[in-house]
Amino acid sequence: MDINNSQGNTIFALDIGTRTVIGLICQIENEKIKVLAHHMAVHKDRAMKDGQIHNIPKVAEVVKEVKEVLEKKVGRKLTKVAIAAAGRALRTVKGKGYRNFKDIPLLSKKHVQELEIQGLLNCKKEIKEKFPQEPLYCVGYSVLNTKINGYNIEFLEGQKGGEAEVEIIATFLPNIVVDSLFEVLKRVNLSIQSLTLEPIAAIEVAIPQKLRMLNLALVDIGAGTSDIAISKGGVVIGYGMVQKAGDKITEILAEKYLIDFATAESLKITICNKKRASITDILGIKREITYEEFLEVIKPGVEEITEEIVAEIMTLNGKAPSAVFCVGGGSQVEIIRQKLAEKLNLPLERVAIRTRENLENVKINSRKLSGPEIITPLGIAAVANKNNFHNFLKVKVNGEEIAIFNPKRVNVAQCLFAAGIKVEEILKGIKQEDLVYTIMGEKVVIPGSKGYPGQIYLNGQQTTLEHEVLEGDNIQVVLPQNPPKVKITLQEVLKPYNHYVNLNGVKVALLKGVKVNGKAAQLQYVLQNNDHIEIEYINSLTELISQPLENLDIYVDGEKIKEDIEIFNLQKNLLNIPKDIVFKEKRVKENQGKEISVVANGKVIYLDKEKPLVVDVFDKLNFDITQPKGMLRIKKNGLDAGFADEVKSGDNLEFYWE
């Protein structure tokens, strides 16, 4: 028979500690915990250190032993278990989301969510900076404070728009912590019914809700770590952890007396209970150890442990609390309690060890489970019951299974964060990078286009970020479509910079050449970010006509010009560019009346032959044929032509290599 189908609210709680594994079968009715069966087993080797599983097969062996013993005691098969992850791995940071909603009449749930997401993004940024090499995912976040126009306010939704701010606290956990727990349970055929954090479990029973109005500190001193939780004003205001605990004392004893770790652990337990112990070291020498000697030997270690615990309490609380409750096996070393009281400047009676005798609504039919080490496993059961077995769930995001804490309610946004998907890109779409370049010293910015926002589907139906997610749900994310990259050619950029004049009736371009980043460029060149474009223009009459001006009669916009003038300057008013320029040779020719003019490659050529040919134009053009660059092409008035073709006044010829 499966225990999970039995009558009543029955929970298999398992505390996988650094030194021991404690299993409880608890029945909870009306918030009263009744322990039906229990078993504790000690790790044979140091398979766990500082609360972290190092040897999965070894830990699985001990868990299997505890599970099988409990199955025999209750006569039922155990398939599901409530567990807790070590507080040593918890990373907690605070972040703020801020936005001015002055143009919004009333704030909606969507506006509040945008602020929370912004705050969470800031938390993720900070946690990544603090732990760049450690893969972490967000296991949850809570809103600490909300403001509108600088005033604290409990609910932003429905408020009139203004400067809104949300402060959140987010918790992160390394993948290795949960993954190693999963693997151990998988090897012993157990599935997770509930997963919480050890400090959360311990405070659940050690400091019940009615006591949390008081400023109290809970210190769970285990073997590898000391977890800390602080209550004040009816809530738990912070969690902390110190990576020093009972094993520190055991290591000091092992080194001092030349004994192995297991013997040192046994010595610690025996001498704390009986105030005297005998040992045999690795050389075979026997000796008796008194409690006074023991205290003197461990004094440096106790100083280290308590110093760090007190420092963490002060960091979390800002001052000494009103009282301290100690739980966990490590707290049974009496001198630790004394040192905590001394360093916190508290009376000794205000630093108390919490045992089962101090707990309300707990019934255990055994004297074996009486010490402070029972607090955390009882808390694991209580948290599982309180959260109705749903404080941990698995969902699929784009086909990949993820695990996520949900102490209350999990929504789509939390799952996407846990899966490492950038929610802000889904909401807004991806924007292409702006294209920035300079042309003739002027900076130009062409904004990048925006893509289409992504879409989110929950079990095949389109959904929103705030939609609740349940165990086994399937989330599919269609990422935003990337917009096309900004692409523009040099020819397109130059259009506003192309200026022309009419030279003897022919339209002639004043643009002479273009350089990009100091090098000549083709018109088909595609601009890149931070390109620098420089344009060269024909600036004077001499440069435009390419003939000695003293031999010519020149008219610019109908006005006769006697000397060279500047016809173009980009820095000056472009409206001053001449429109029409007419010129003609001054000398009188014998065959006057037969002279014709044509334009070749933008230059005016005069011919005084009776029937001039294309070859005559070519001879006067001074076209460079010493370095051929392909086949010479000739066009007359836009049509292919040959050297023997006749030309007439006003013809337009082009000579070029192809």
Whether 104 shows a pLDDT value over 80: the answer reads: no
Alpha carbon of 439 to those of 13, 311, 536, 572, 588: distances in Å?
A: 72, 61, 12, 16, 47
Is the separation of the CB atoms in 211 and 183 below 8 Å?
Answer: no
Give CA torsion, residues 377, 379, 381, 386, to 10 deg: -170
Pairwise CA distance, residues 216 & 187, whole Å = 39
In this prediction, residue 576 has a pLDDT band, given cuts at 50, 70 and 90, of low
Please state the CATH superfamily assignment of the domain spanning residues 539-657 in this structure: Beta-grasp domain (3.10.20.30)
| Average pLDDT value over all residues in the chain | 81
* Among 49, 4, 42, 5, CA closest to 21: 42
Pairwise CA distance, residues 484 & 503, whole Å = 43
pLDDT given for residue 344 in this prediction: 93
Q: Do the bridges between strand 163-174 and strand 91-100 make them parallel or antiparallel, or are there none, so unpaired?
A: antiparallel
More confident residue, 474 or 553: 474
Whether 587 shows a pLDDT value over 90: the answer reads: no
**Cβ neighbours for 314, distance < 8 A, ≥ 6 positions apart:** 320
pLDDT given for residue 385 in this prediction: 79
In this prediction, residue 3 has a pLDDT band, given cuts at 50, 70 and 90, of very low
- Say how many C-beta atoms besides its own lie within 10 A of residue 641's C-beta: 19
More confident residue, 474 or 115: 474
For 177, half-sphere exposure in the C-beta direction (CA atoms, 13 angstrom radius) is 27
pLDDT tens-place string over residues 541-575? 777 777 777 777 777 777 777 777 777 665 554 54
Domain 89-173 is found in CATH 3.30.1490.110: yes
Pairwise CA distance, residues 132 & 328, whole Å = 32
The percentage of residues in the chain with a pLDDT greater than 70, rounded to a whole number, is 88
In Å, how far from its chain's centre is CA 127?
9
pLDDT tens-place string over residues 111-162? 787 788 788 778 888 888 888 877 776 655 667 778 888 888 777 777 777 7
Q: Which residues face 226 on adjacent strands?
A: 221, 242
pLDDT given for residue 2 in this prediction: 44
Pairwise CA distance, residues 358 & 323, whole Å = 15
Is the separation of the CB atoms in 239 and 91 below 8 Å?
Answer: no
Sign of CA dihedral 188, 194, 195, 200: negative
* Among 239, 249, 229, 217, CA closest to 332: 249
pLDDT given for residue 65 in this prediction: 92
Is the separation of the CB atoms in 343 and 337 below 8 Å?
Answer: no
pLDDT tens-place string over residues 354-376? 877 767 777 777 666 666 778 88
pLDDT tens-place string over residues 179-218? 788 888 889 998 877 777 787 788 888 888 788 888 999 8
Pairwise CA distance, residues 226 & 328, whole Å = 9
Q: Following DSSP, what letter does each residue of 533-594 receive, concatenated?
A: EEEEE--BHHHHH-S-GGGEEEEETTEEE-S--B---TTS-GGGS-SEEEEEE-SPPTTTTS
pLDDT given for residue 6 in this prediction: 41
pLDDT given for residue 95 in this prediction: 86
Q: Where are the alpha helices (DSSP H) in 318-357?
A: 334-344
Domain 390-429+446-483 is found in CATH 3.10.20.30: yes
What's the token pair of residue 186?
């998988």
Domains 390-429+446-483 and 539-657 share a fold: yes
Domains of the chain, by residue range, sit at 3-79+189-386, 89-173, 390-429+446-483, 539-657
Q: What is the CATH number of domain 3-79+189-386?
A: 3.30.420.40
Whether 242 shows a pLDDT value over 90: the answer reads: no
